[in-house]
A and B are shown apart, each in its own frame.
Chain A
Amino acid sequence: MAIIKGYDMPDELYYHEEHSWARVEGNRVTVGMDDMFQKEAGDIVFVDLPDEEDEFEQGEVCGKIQSRKWIGKLCAPVSGEIVEINEELEDDTSLVNQDPYGKGWILVIEATDLENELTNLMQGDSLLPFIDQEIKRTEEERAKA
């Protein structure tokens, strides 16, 4: 478990720059949104999930997430077919806020090019500059404004 600048970013997960995370078990990749996203977004109102058997490329928008009056996107961290979705989110979207890496998981992808695509994601030490950059960018913009 790693806390980076106040955000919980578990070491064993891979992270996409649009804040989706990937837990790899063989070719099955469980996907959710990271702690930085859920803290910034606030209470999640609705998760617009894809259908099972839908296929997506790495980085493609595979779902949408409404928080307050904002609708953002869920990007597939790896390419592949959706093989499972978290149906509990239909009744309780607060799981994404309360337990983003556990009960708040969103979907599972059967990956098609995992070995190559994992190199495009961030993990462990490579997250620190990314989080720093995200925080710095926000602070700079606030100062300018």
Chain B
Amino acid sequence: MDSWRLFKDTVNPASTALGLSIDDTLPLSLSQHGSPPILHLYTFKPSAIVGKYQDIEAALRLDRCKDRGIEYNRRSTGGGTVIMGPEVVALGLGINIDQPGLKKGIGGIFESLSTILITALQDLGIKVGFRPRNDLEVDGKKIAGLSATLETEKAILFHASLLVDFDIPLMLDIMNQPALKLYDKGYNCFSQRITTIKEQLGYDIDMATVIGAIEKAFSQKFSVSFEKDEPDTWEKKSIKDLINNRYTNPDWIFSHKHPRSKMGIGEFKTPGGLLEIYLSLAGSTIEHIIITGDFFSTTKDINLLESALKWTSAKREKIEEHLSEVWKEDMIHGVTVNTLTEAIVKAKENPVMR
């Protein structure tokens, strides 16, 4: 049985600079230092971390972060903002794309790694599934998010965050979301879209148990054993360099390499009721969408529709195409793919200031 390395800390939450620098070192260590795959399981200090190509000033209310002592930083993998803290498991994995057991292609890699997290959560007693666009869900509510970057020829860094507990009011206070314009609805809106391990289990669970389940699931999937380890001298130098040159460097944190960020709100009357759309756009892509209103539907179906649109093109024909892929009859009573598309396009064309 092959042995992989495990960097694990369930006791001391890491600063964003340290945690992210360790993660970035993982694929480098595989490609340049001859390391076997490395799994890094840990927690962060309370923090908000944006994706590599996000506009941090548009995504976060930095003044509120500073007032509340919430760190903010930019990771090297894709995707949107994540709120991290001592009760969110952070996972970094350095692995080669030709690792036996890992499916090929972008979708295949996400699917393989999602399967492992699904196994871990099922082991804890939570019935969880994969939903398109790289999230894990329970009854339509997000419980974990995934992202990745291909760092070298074949070594990737894979990131995941698993919510053991989550502070929605904190998120509403520090993130810029179009739905936050609806202050009164904000909490309900997000509590219907996010769940946690504690909420699903109905009792408290310690981080060590959750992290242990993830470790076990990886071990089973790849038929490997884990050796608890720490960064060696070469890796420590890389971590130090990354802390100094990247994760404490304003040029990195406030990078302007990102698509233009926009928000839009649209209202659209349909035979099924009023549709209200809250949209965040990254260039020509839908970064985040909330579909709400006074129509009849289920939380699960609405979350499915929203997920199908996240990180896809905001062009009318693409919106229609992606909605059609998941559309079921009477998903929203009295609403069709065409009318929903129309409402989203209306939101896109009605920009609002952050």
Contacts and interface: CB of A to CB of B under 8 A. Distances in A.
B51 interface: yes
Contacts of A64: 149
Interface string B101-131: 1111111111010000000000000000000
Given A66-B78, A71-B52, A46 B258 contact: yes
How many of chain A's residues touch chain B, expressed as a range? Answer: 20 to 34
A138 B105 contact: yes
A28 B118 CA distance: 49
Nearest to B109: A70
Instruction: Identify whether the interface residues of B are mostly helix, strand, loop, or mixed.
Output: loop
B112 to A, nearest CB: 7
Contact of A45 (B76, B78, B101, B315): B78
Given A40-B107, A69-B133, A138-B104, A48 B283 contact: no
B134 interface: yes
Interface in A15-30: none
Interface residues of B, number: 40
B241 to A, nearest CB: 19
B282 A45 contact: yes
A48 B76 CA distance: 13
Contact of A72 (B146, B150, B311): B150
Interface string A57-93: 0000000101111111100000000000000001111
Contacts, number: 106
Contact of B149 (A45, A70, A90): A70
B50 to A, nearest CB: 12
A92 B313 CA distance: 9
26 contacts: A40-B105, A40-B106, A42-B106, A42-B107, A43-B311, A43-B313, A45-B285, A46-B283, A66-B53, A68-B78, A68-B79, A68-B134, A68-B312, A69-B148, A70-B106, A71-B76, A71-B149, A72-B106, A92-B283, A92-B284, A94-B315, A138-B103, A138-B108, A141-B103, A144-B100, A145-B112
Interface of B: 51-53, 76-79, 100-110, 112, 133-134, 145-150, 257-260, 282-285, 311-313, 315, 318
Interface of A: 40-43, 45-46, 48, 64, 66-73, 90-94, 97, 137-138, 141-142, 144-145
